[in-house]
Amino acid sequence: MKHKLLNIIAIVAVAITAAFAIYMKGNCMKTELGYFPQNALENATPRVNAAIDTARARVDELAAIPDKTYMNFVRPLMDADAALNDVWLPMNHLDSVMHSDETKKIMGEILPLLAAYSTDMSQHKGVYEGYKYIKEHEYDSLDAAQKKLIDDTIRNFEISGINLPKDKQARLKEIDIEQTKLSNDFTNNLIAANKNFKIKITDEKLLGNMPESDRAAAKVNGESGAPEHSEGGWEFSLLDSFYGPFMTYVTDRNLRKQMHDARFARAPENAAIISRKLELREESAKILGYKDYASLVFEVRVAPSPDAAKKFLSHLRDLAKPMADRDRAELAARAAADNVTDFAPYDAAFYMRLVRQEQYELDESIAREYFELNATVTGMFDIIEEMFDVKFAERKVPLWHGDAKYYDVIQDGNVIAGFFTDWTTRESKMPGAWMSGFSDHYVDANGVRHLPRIYNVGNFSPAADGTSLLTLDNVRTMFHEMGHGLHGLLSKVDELGLSGTGVERDVVELPSTFLEYFWNSPVVLKRIGRHYKTGKQMPDELIEKIVRADNFMKGTDIVWRTSYALFDMEIHTRHGLKFADVQKLFDTIALPAGAITPGTTYDRPVTAFMHPFAHAYAAGYYSYLWAEQMAADAYMAFDGNPFNKELARKYRDTILAGGGAKKMDELYREFLGRDPNPESILKIYGLK
């Protein structure tokens, strides 16, 4: 979705745990917290190779210790991981924010090395036996986080097949390798399909009210030399950044239909990949003794079972359906006023914009003038400082790009974390926005506390004069990523791997969604909305419009998200599905009858659904909504006022500080003294 938290780091680092650590030595600490290695790419592959060799040797040495204890075995294993992460995470970061042929080559070389290391560690019998020894001999004297780490690790070994006979283990490894290749092929097919289809427009009138920035991105340069470009014009591919503006603004229905049909016919070769992936997943579940693939992955989730997730999703969808029907009727009525009597999916984005503008009278170009990037960041920090009693102090340090910034995070006069930001877009940056880190909070084998070094990255566009005025969606995204950021920054967990965002996948979006909810509460808008030229506070009338417009198409949004999630759950709880069966389920479950797309990102065939087939979200798309029901309830407890300090600090000290040291439902009970109320999310979406 909006961030890259569960990206390649998390996928590769199954056994590498979280992140790289930094020593805190007396007064050197502040300098080192803001440190970013300027020579991170030098001699990259040999250094990663050497670091892996060192880690392997260290792990083998630790596995051979006779009288293992938590402190002489588990913590040193964490240190070995941290040392390895120290070497490669800055490379990985540069590949995402300063992408080049060099970084691409380096990643191509090091990711297979890291994956091999990770696989070997997940099958390391000596380490597994070591954890079991500690469970037998020392468990009762460990604290809750340490107990959870021991239990989680033993479980992870077991669901990786550590106790299976050699031939079955070998088969699992083969499946793993084939799955990785298939995911990669799935993505590459989609990338090619997105680029290869293009519609060119030469008559400017057809672009309608398309904003200048979108036109500029699609502009074909008549002087570029290519004969097909000699007449100039605008060219649109199926990539989201072109497809969105095209479907929203292009006035010719027939062109929109062509574009829409092409988008839904993308990457047909992924059909075979989907069949094969499902077959392999079923095989691995069977080898490991689970009735289906969903049951296997639910071993590492907070949601109790696939059935519980399905029930939750169906209930939400049923409640949202009448709202979605009303949304559709509203758009169709507006289209009819233009003499469009056969309202179709390719009209949805076009009329959504019109209805939104006409009904809510919200002119986004005016709203943007109140969200200059730097002022918005300062405003957001201001809110967070008051909520959680921390301070952000910028400090100039050498980083990877002039747009990047560094802040010391201070609590009770002590620096507790380092925060890096890099918000503006550039060609060398991967698209989207994300949170990740160079290191998590933990205590090493020598009892030295390592502080978190976390970053947020975005792709917000600067205007022609260099001033970046954020869209409303940008502001929302910034709050979302900052929510993840705080999860890392304010962690107090001593065990690497359980710290910060080291939580189960279906609750990792809780802190991000929680903070995101606040972005447009009137008290927050009043505080952060300042006109970039006059410095004047945002007028109440505009605040009201922003708040009202946010409710637009909420029912439709829920219907789509629940439908995709139900489809994902269905295909991972059935047996022997071939692609034709998958397509049938997709048509009946994921493409809800009569509903319209809430936004162009939902315009996709099953062959372009990356979450379950290219990313690690198989039987996991429900996670966003599962976390959101908790986030919604936490938000409702504040009753629109982020400055309820007692409550905010309780949230900080339980949900944020606690990371994965306890299961999230336990932390939640510590926060509010009760379980989340399932009605809260319904209320937020106006379903109750």
- Which CB sits closer to Zn ion, 509 or 568? 509
- Tell me how crowded residue 290 is: count the other CB atoms within 10 A of its CB: 17
CA 218: distance to chain centroid? 27
- Which CB sits closer to Zn ion, 93 or 487? 487
- Residue 481 annotated to the active site: yes
For 543-607, the three-class secondary structure string (H helix, E strand, C coil) is: HHHHHHHCCCCHHHHHHHHHHHHHHHHHHCCCCCCCHHHHHHHHHHHHCCCCCCCCCHHHCCCHH
Say if residue 639 is exposed, middle or buried (CB neighbours under 10 Å; 0-12, 13-18, 19+): exposed
- Which CB sits closer to Zn ion, 3 or 277? 3
CB 484 to Zn ion: min, Å: 6
519 touches 479 (CB < 8 A): yes
Marked catalytic residue, from 481, 495, 570, 628? 481
- Show Cβ contacts of residue 282 under 8 Å, excluding neighbours closer than 6 positions: 292, 293, 575, 576
Dig out the tokens for 259 from the structure.
């574009």
CA distance 5 to 501: 9
Segment (H or E) for 443: strand 442-443
CB 620 to Zn ion: min, Å: 13
In this structure, which amino acid lies at residue 84? Answer: L
- Which CB sits closer to Zn ion, 282 or 509? 509
Pure H helices in 361-403: 364-368, 373-388
491 touches 441 (CB < 8 A): yes
CB 6 to Zn ion: min, Å: 9
436 touches 93 (CB < 8 A): yes
CB 479 to Zn ion: min, Å: 11
CB 88 to Zn ion: min, Å: 23
| Residues paired with 443 in a beta bridge | 449
**Could you identify the residue written with the tokens 């037998």?**
136
CB 414 to Zn ion: min, Å: 28
- Tell me how crowded residue 521 is: count the other CB atoms within 10 A of its CB: 19
In this structure, which amino acid lies at residue 520? Answer: N
Say if residue 52 is exposed, middle or buried (CB neighbours under 10 Å; 0-12, 13-18, 19+): buried
User: Which backbone phi and psi does 675 adopt, to 5 degrees?
Assistant: -80, 160
Say if residue 498 is exposed, middle or buried (CB neighbours under 10 Å; 0-12, 13-18, 19+): buried
In this structure, which amino acid lies at residue 493? Answer: V
- Which CB sits closer to Zn ion, 3 or 263? 3
CB 434 to Zn ion: min, Å: 8
CB 569 to Zn ion: min, Å: 20
- Which CB sits closer to Zn ion, 495 or 509? 509
Chain residues binding Zn ion by CB under 5 A are 3, 509, 512
Catalytic residues: 481
